[in-house]
Each structure stands twice: as structure tokens, then as C-alpha cells.
Amino acid sequence: MKWKATLLWATLLAVAGGCSAPKTKSHLRHSTPEIEAKVEKMVKSMTLEEKVGQMTQVTLDILLEGEKPETSFEPPRLDKNAMREAFEKYYIGSVLNTTNNRARSPQWWNLMVKDIQDYAIKNNRLGIPIIYGVDMIHGASYVAGATLFPQQIGMAATWNPELIRQGAEVTAYESRASSIGWTFSPVLDLGVDPRWPRQWETFGEDPYLASSMGKALIRGLQGDDNQVSNPNRMAACLKHYLGYSHTLSGKDRSPAWIPENKLREYHLPAFKAGVEAGALTVMVNSGEINGVPVHINKYLLNDVLKEELGFEGFIVSDWSDIEYLHTRHKVAATQKEAVKLAINAGLDMSMVPYNFRFADYLIELVNEGEVPMSRIDDAVTRILRVKYLLGLFEKPYTQLEDYPDFGSTAFENLAIRTAQESVTLLKNDGLLPLSNNLRLLVAGPTANSMRPLNGGWSYSWQGELADEFAGDYNTVYEALRARAKNPEMVELFEGVSFKFDGKYDEEIVGNLSEFSRRAAKANAIVLCLGENSYTEKPGDLEDLYLSDNQQQLAKLAAASGKPVIFVMVQGRPRVISKIEPLAKAVLNAYLPGNYGGEAIAQIIYGEINPSGKLPYTYPRFPNSLEPYYIKHAEQLEIAGSPTGTQYNPQYHFGYGLSYSNFEYSELSTDKTTYEPEDVIKLSVRVTNTSALAGKEVVQVFSADHYASLTPSVKRLRAFEKVSLMPGESKLVQLEIPVKALAFAAEDRMWTLEKGSFSLMCGKLSTDIQLNTDKKFSNKIQ
């Protein structure tokens, strides 16, 4: 198979060593001649040891006093001997992470980063600062008091890129207030598999939606002009390049088997968009594709990312992933060979993170001729370029006193609005909104904790510290109670709760007889279901159905005869098909952050009109997990299916209800026949036919009638969120480049074939004709 052969050849090239020459300065898009001259001069003056040091990244804990490298004493103190080894012997270029896996105050971050930078610069003859990276995932999530937003899956559910850009500006501002200039965000992996424990870190399953949201987030972090030396901006990191989310098993860091045309058509576009937006760094997929770990895949790292897409920044490994080439993937017989394979494939910086052996091995490999100096110079050039672009040589750290808006009301309001626009109403049998004078029973394991509202990467890796750091915010129960006309009418009885000192999926079943007794007294039951926080490998699961305990609680609630509202607080769409008919209303809240409780309560009581739309397909069964862009053969008629076909999700991609009603009319295009270089100008009228103001997401899908490779049933091509007052009508105008209708062929080329296409918006459809065939590539011109 062509793809298998390509990957084998890529591996052989990686083993042999060497990457193609870096782009000449005249081709650089995001740097300046002045910066390039400084970088070139510095690289020429550096020793091999100094260069390799710049390629080495260690975690903060190994620089602190402690009994072992993984943990530090409290309060944390820099270890003089460790600092001397790191910066005077190894010339380390980067540090990451917090200490002891917990958030710290911005003042603490200011002092820690300042002390490290001062020591590194003083003890480096060239005065090179470090670049400090932290997983600031949905806000400055390792900084106490910072503004936390919904996780990326909730951001995607807003379908509002401008809102996401503004939120990323806040993340950059509050991170830089804490002296952190580099975040490992955004995640541009596609959320194509609901089983995957990091699905909530993505922008959903669609390449166009992920590309649009990713570009918006990068603009917010780095600025529209990518002037990241601005002390209110920070460097973004696209991760996890490439195909990380599409594993065969659905489990984290496990093998993927993806044909190259599928990899290019679905998984690559968001990363291409991120590179074009100017992202300065890229993190590599920890897994493997078709038997080749991506960390040693020269074809993907160098030939596609650096050469074809024109990426100018540096590539960093994920945590320990060079070591894992030897211990986990078994493609390197020794740790030294693992370093050789990864660096020769195009990796620029190793997230080691607990020792300095990477540097020792790499120096030996260069001296032995196994890694060419040209590869080292390319990596160091890229790293120094980013440091200069960030302004670290002029301003290696910042101070909180220069950031008066940290944790401000304005930032808080933006986070609340993002949460409000993310919550998605999936079902409403005339129940919502509720009057605020009803007697409510609020139950379920996500009803009264901040931990499931925030998810992982919130104050700690697994999010288990959220109730400690975010205890002043309202849970769902607290927010409902605060908004009730009589707070005493809102009662909490969880029935099922999470075992917070256990694994994320461990639960405690309470007195269910007492739950039934209280349910009988309520006017309505708000059942808060879903998942505890998790991320990465600890979040792997064996069964996508909602837990048996929670399903039993739902059955007991329905048995009371009182109307039941499901509020799903979850990182991935847990299957609810066995109990969904029992609910009168279903809200999907995703992981809405510290203001999620407020947003949920406001929507339940009708203070806010829901406008979220699903960024993924919500499955009906654990064995039917297809994304919406299925092929025609996947929707064949099948006897007994509720929809009459084998494709039968619980809720479709892009679906979401409102308290308003919207009507579509007058769908048209500027012409009916097009050439490959044209842009389709489409318009459609949207009218709010209800008596309530609301927001609607106008979505345009395309369908290729016939193609030489089987076409998908439909693909998202454009969208826009509009606000409409009661009775208001707007003519929404959208543009779609004809090239966006292309598919990735087996020859690696984007391919347009003449013929008919349908453009669909709401229930409307119109056909257009493409007159000419065309092939084109991703190559930067």
C-alpha cells in the first residue's frame, strides 16, 4: 500500500539522518530580517553543548529541593546544585510545568520565573533566556484566581469564533501576568471518537469547525499580527500533530491506522490553518500511525509540517516521548538510538522531563556523526527565533502589578457569556424554561461540585483540586438556589455521587429510597449526570454508556411521575439512549468551567436563551460511533431502525435547540456554475418567528454528487452565528472558496472534479456546477 511504503521510507530516512535544508530568510512569513540576523550570529557563536542545551526541556520539580525528581518540598525552593547542573553544565533552554501538580498564585509564578530566568541568563555567556511553558488550556488554568473558560469542546459548541478569540486574549493576558509566555494550546486533534479520553480537549469532529476555532484561539493568544513580544500575548502550541485522536481502540496513546488521504483530508487541515495563523510551536502526537511513532516520522515532521506547510517555529515532543520510543514503542534498542531517530526526523526540542541524559546522548551522536550539525543548527535556529519573537531577550519575565485587569469583572463576564453560549439544549418537550418559584430537587453526581464543571487541566493535571481552588464559584445546585424566588424551594439530594478520592469513574450510591421520597415532593427534578474530571490515560474507559448507577437514578426520578431534566456535565458524550425517553428536557453542558453552574441555571430559568450547537455527533449506541461525514454506504436502509437507516445517532452534529423559532428562506448563490479559483457567494434569509430574542447558527453543508473516491454524505463548509430580535429577519451572506469542495486523493493532491454539488442550509438546498477539474497541494507559495 502506498501509505505503508511512504511511512517505511520515512523511517529509513529518519534512521539515516538529516532533514532538508531550512527555508531561506526571504521565505519567512512571521519573523523579521533583524531577528534572523541576530539568530544566525548567535548560532554561529554557540558551542555544541550550548546548542543541545537549547533543545532540552525539563520540568520544574527537578530544579527544586525535594526527596525525588517528581516531587518537591513545600514551600518550593530552588535547589542550588540542580540549578548549577541545569544551567551551568547543560545550558537548559526550556522549563515547563508547575510543582507538585497544583496551581500557584500569580505572585508565586512571578518570583519563580524571575529567579530561574535571572540565574539562566547570568550563567550563560550569551545571555539566552529560557522559554517557560505551561498547559494554560481553558484560561490560565494553573494560576490561582485566573479566569477559567469552558474547555475547548464547550468553546466549539458556541460556534462563535470571535468569542473564542476574546477568551484567548484573556488567557494570554493572565498567563503573562504570571510570567508565563508559552502555552501548550490549542488542541487541534479532531474529536472523532467519543471513547477517547481527550475528546473534550478538542474543537469537535469537523475539520472546518476545528480550523475556524483554532485560528480564532491563536489570534487571541498571539494577536492578529502575531506580535508576541507584546507583553499581553503569548506563544501558542498546536497539538498533537498528527492523527493522535483517531486510535483504533479509542484509548489514549494507542495505535492509529489512518490512510494518508484520510489523514490529509480530515486531520491535517486544522494544523495547516494553525500554521497559517502563525502558531510558533507544535507538539507531536504521542502515539503511532500505521506502526510508525510520529516522533520519528520524518515524512510528517519535516517533509509535511516544515516543508509543505512552511512551519517556521519549533517542534517539541510530548512528555517523555523520546524515552518511550525505547520503552513503549520498541522501535529503538537504546535510549540513545531513540534520541537519534527523533532528532533526525525533525524534532527540535525534547520534553525530557526528569533528567539530562537527552543532552548527553545528543552530544555524543553529533560527535559520532550520527546526527548532522545542520540538523542541530536548524533546531536551535527555530528555538532562538521564537525566543526573540517573544521578546524574551529584552523582557524575560513580567510582574503582576503591570496587569491590573487580572481576574477582572470584564474577564468574568466574558467567561460567563462563553459558558452561556456553549450549553446546548438537546431536548425540550415544552418543559423549559422553568418558573423560578417551583419546588426543585437537584440530584446526581455533577450537581454540587466544581470538579466536573471544570474537568482536567484545571488547577492540577486531573482537575481534582477544583473544589479547593474554585470553591467560591457556584455549582449547579448553588446557582439554581441563588436564582430561585424562594431558595428553600430548591433542595439537594445527590443520590449518586463521585468518589473524589478514587478513580474518576468510581461512584458512591446513597439512600435511593430517600431520593424517591424527596422526588415525590418536588415539582420538577434537575438530574445532573455525567463524568468526574480526568484527562489522558487515566480517563480511558471500557463502556461509553452512562454508568449503571446514574441510569438507575434516572429511572427512579422518572418513576416519581415528576418531569425530569437531564443536565449532562461530561467530557465526552456518554450514551443515554436507554434513559433519554424518560427526560422531558436534556441540556448538554460539556465542561463549562467556573461559570458553568451560573450558565446552566440561567438557561433552566429562562434568563438566557440557549444557542449552543453540538460540535460532534452524539451517539445512540456504543457500537455506532461514526462522525457525521459518513459515506453513502453507511446510511443504507435497515429494518427496525428508528430512522430507517443504519446511521442513527442520538443527536446529529450541529444540532441544538433554542427557546426561539427560526425560519430559513431565499437560499441562493451568486451564480450556478463555477471554476476552481472562484468563490461561491451564498445568501440565505433567517427570520426569528418567535416572541423571544435569540441566537441562531447558520450552517452550510456541501454534498458532492459523484467523485472518483466515494464522497461523504455532507461536509460543513461555512457557518455564522447571528442574533435576531423577535420578528427580525436577516439576509446572511457567506463565502465558500470552490477549492474548499476538494477531496484528498491517493496521490496526496487536493482534487476538484467537475460535476454537480448541493449546498444545504437548514432544510433548504440548491445545486451548483463545477466546470473544470483541478489538482493542487498544501505547498506554501
pLDDT digit string, tens, across residues 263-316:
999 999 999 999 999 999 999 999 999 999 999 999 999 999 999 999 999 999
Distance CA 82, CA 431 (A): 62
Mean residue pLDDT across the chain: 95
**Bridge partners of residue 579, in order along the sequence:** none
Q: Which residue's C-alpha cell is 415532593?
A: 521
Distance CA 246, CA 266 (A): 11
The CA–CA distances, whole Å, from 507 to 497, 530, 554, 690 equal 6, 11, 15, 43
Question: pLDDT grade, residue 633 (50/70/90)?
Answer: very high
Q: Is the preceding peptide bond at 353 cis, omega within 30 degrees of 0?
A: yes
Look at residue 615 and give its three-state secondary structure. coil
Question: pLDDT grade, residue 5 (50/70/90)?
Answer: very low
Q: Amino acid identity, residue 326?
A: H
As a whole number, mean pLDDT of residues 523-531 equals 98
Residue 97 contacts residue 61 (beta carbons within 8 Å): yes
Distance CA 82, CA 463 (A): 29
Look at residue 89 and give its three-state secondary structure. helix
Q: 684 — phi, psi (to 5°)?
A: -150, 140
Residue 178, pLDDT > 60, answer yes
Report the Cα 400 to chain-centroid distance in Å. Answer: 27
Distance CA 663, CA 644 (A): 26
Report the Cα 531 to chain-centroid distance in Å. Answer: 18
Residue 521, pLDDT > 70, answer yes
pLDDT recorded at residue 157: 99
Burial of 333 (0-12, 13-18, 19+ CB in 10 A): exposed
Burial of 402 (0-12, 13-18, 19+ CB in 10 A): exposed
Based on its alpha-carbon atoms, the radius of gyration of the chain, rounded to whole angstroms, reads: 26
Helix (H) or strand (E) holding 737: strand 729-737
Length of the chain: 781
pLDDT in tens, 544-593: 999 999 999 999 999 999 999 999 999 999 999 999 999 999 999 999 99
pLDDT recorded at residue 778: 81
The CA–CA distances, whole Å, from 284 to 262, 271, 345, 585, 612 equal 19, 11, 12, 41, 31
Q: Where are the beta strands (DSSP E) in 8-160?
A: 56-59, 94-96, 131-134
- Residues with catalytic annotation? 318
Helix ranges restricted to H, 329-475: 335-345, 357-367, 373-389, 409-422, 450-454, 466-469
Sign of the C-alpha dihedral computed for residues 227, 230, 232 and 233 taken in this order? positive
pLDDT recorded at residue 779: 73
pLDDT recorded at residue 6: 37
Report long-range pairs for 38-46 (Cβ below 8 Å, ≥24 apart): 38/388, 39/381, 39/384, 39/385, 39/388, 40/381, 42/126, 42/128, 42/384, 43/377, 43/380, 43/381, 43/384, 45/126, 46/126, 46/380
Taking the CA of residue 2 as centre, how many other CA atoms within 13 Å lie in the half-sphere pointing to its CB?
7
Residue 34, pLDDT > 90, answer yes
Question: pLDDT grade, residue 641 (50/70/90)?
Answer: low
pLDDT recorded at residue 718: 98
Contacts of 739 (CB under 8 A, 6+ apart): 676, 677, 750, 752, 774, 776
Taking the CA of residue 309 as centre, how many other CA atoms within 13 Å lie in the half-sphere pointing to its CB?
25
Per the structure block, which three cell numbers stand in for 210?
476545528
Q: pLDDT exceeding 70 applies to what percent of the chain?
A: 95
As a whole number, mean pLDDT of residues 628-647 equals 78
Q: Which residue's C-alpha cell is 501548550?
A: 184
pLDDT recorded at residue 9: 32
Maximum distance among all Cα pairs of the chain, rounded to whole angstroms: 79
pLDDT recorded at residue 11: 37
As a whole number, mean pLDDT of residues 714-742 equals 98
Sign of the C-alpha dihedral computed for residues 355, 356, 357 and 358 taken in this order? positive
> pTM above the 0.85 mark?
yes
Contacts of 278 (CB under 8 A, 6+ apart): 29, 30, 218, 222, 226
Look at residue 425 and give its three-state secondary structure. strand
As a whole number, mean pLDDT of residues 505-519 equals 98
**Bridge partners of residue 97, in order along the sequence:** none
